[in-house]
Amino acid sequence: MSRETEETPKKDRTPSLERPSNVLVESDASTLPSARRGQGDETAFVVVSLLSKTDRRIEALEGTYGEPDSVHVISVKGRADNGYDTVRTVSSSGDLTGLSMRIGEALSELHDDDVYLYFDDVTSLLQYTDLNTAYRFFNVLTGRITAADGVGYFGITPKAHDDRTVNTLRNLFDDTVGMS
């Protein structure tokens, strides 16, 4: 005999394997491939913006998932746009500890929601840190997104890097798409 108790979880938090959790987007995408989870209470976008392209990234997410219930922005200090539910800042594009903490805060706060994160952009981050450090950072970040049953999109400009750099980073992602 089974009965529901107050301890019964609202939803199964087991990551879906049908669709990728983390996607490397190789260009300036205006639309994104769908990787909808659809299990959360609400839909939340988290945009990590190193380049002040926050509105464009939100439009790309909206083009795929519709209008969100909330938008959370993590931005380099002084580049944050106004009008979002939450704006968190870091001191510089190379502040990996600050980025990691702010992203972790957002994912924790939104744990019952369907979270779609857009990291803009990998190319800019690589100007501030070496490939090995960036690899470790993105390895941890993609793991957090998968554990949260979220979907992460990571923009990169492949022509700005050598083949070794791009191929090394591709290994971290479930899928790679080229968008125009």
- Single pTM value for the model: 0.82
Burial class (CB in 10 A: 0-12, 13-18, 19+), 19: middle
Residue 96 to residue 83: CA distance in whole angstroms: 25
Nearest to residue 118, comparing CAs of 39, 42, 64?
64
- State the alpha helices, DSSP H only, in the chain: 54-65, 96-109, 122-125, 131-147, 163-170
Q: List, for residues 29-53, the tens digit of each pLDDT value.
A: 555 777 665 666 689 999 998 877 7
Q: Where are the domains of the chain?
A: 22-177
Q: List, for residues 83-106, the tens digit of each pLDDT value.
A: 777 888 898 889 999 999 999 999
Region label for 27, one of left (φ > 0), alpha (ψ between -120 and 50) or beta (otherwise):
left
Out of 12-21, 45-54, 153-162, least confident range: 12-21
Task: Summarize the chain as % helix, strand, coil (round to 5).
Answer: 30, 20, 45
Please check the confidence at residue 108 and state whether its pLDDT lies above 60. Answer: yes
Residue 50 to residue 176: CA distance in whole angstroms: 21
Length of the chain measured in residues: 180
Using 50, 70 and 90 to split pLDDT, how confident is the model at 177?
confident
What mean pLDDT is predicted for residues 93-120? 93
Q: What is the fold, at CATH topology level, of the domain defined by 22-177?
A: Rossmann fold (3.40.50)
- Identify the residue whose tokens are 């990291």: 119
Burial class (CB in 10 A: 0-12, 13-18, 19+), 69: middle
Which backbone phi and psi does 24 adopt, to 5 degrees? Answer: -90, 120
Residue 98, pLDDT score: 95
